[in-house]
Amino acid sequence: MARSRKVTVSTDAEGHTAGWAETDLAPVSAPDPSAAAFFDVDNTMMQGASIYWFARGLASRNYVTTSDLARFAWQQLRFRLLAREHAGDMSLAKEAALAFVAGWRVDEVEHLAEEIFDEMMAPRIWAGTHQLAQRHLDAGQRVWLVSAAPVEIGRVIAARLGLTGAIGTVAQVVDGAYTGRLVGDLMHGPAKAEAVTQLAAVEGLDLARCAAYSDSANDLPLLCSVGRAVAVNPDGALLRQARQHGWEVRDFRTGRRAVKIAVPSTAAAGLVAGAVTAGLALQRRRRAG
């Protein structure tokens, strides 16, 4: 696989921080440089949450146990059923993310993400959504993934799918290893809209000519920040908003209304880290012993 470029971190006047990374597949100059498309990942581009499948891949490599995964799945089910994303919930998610990345080397995470994408994520890419992204590329426009998952995982997925790059949660790196601190906040909710606005300013994009795709009402700030919003496999709240605003709706789920695989939500991308942290620590102690 072509290697991804360095993560770029930007902070706006209000102190909001975003990170993005282009893949080596990105053209030096796009034929339509002022337009782009932004795709949410979890349940929009992929069935389920990328960070969950990453954890599943870690479990298959004995980094975590099946009980860790079961505990995570239950936490996520409860999280979704309650449908609450108060500040306290996001605080827990951020703390979990901090514990997850501490001590890991960036190149190790990227290598694992490449392997796990091929094994577990690739079969779960929605072909219809991928085709929508390809249409933008064929029109000479850039296509970015926007996810609460770590930006390193996002850019691996983008490269595998032939997309321009990814916007994601940024973890602090010193000497090639994660410190356990985040640069800014989780890439969730309003943070996605802020990050896209920052990227547009840097890349010279006209947001009125851009499109955004998501499955969740949590991404309404992102969808409302561009000229064309598309609801993909929408949850009930987003479907109502799409009908109210006259947005296009695409649903690639088959049969009865799909139950989202493994129940992780985009907002809970940090919480998966908390579920696997104990397993990671245990595995390292075993290796050190």
Catalytic positions are: 40, 42
Residue count (the chain): 289
Dihedral sign of CA atoms 21, 170, 228, 158 in order: positive
Between strands 165-174 and 142-150, the pairing is parallel
Pairwise CA distance, residues 276 & 177, whole Å: 19
- Please list the alpha-helical segments (H only) found in the chain: 50-60, 66-82, 87-101, 106-116, 127-138, 151-161, 190-203, 220-224, 236-245, 269-288
- Reading the block at residue 261, the tokens are 């695989």
CB-based contacts of 59: which residues, under 8 Å, 6+ apart? 65, 66, 68, 69, 276, 279
Contact indicator for 228, 211 with CB cutoff of 8 Å: yes
SS3 call for 219: helix
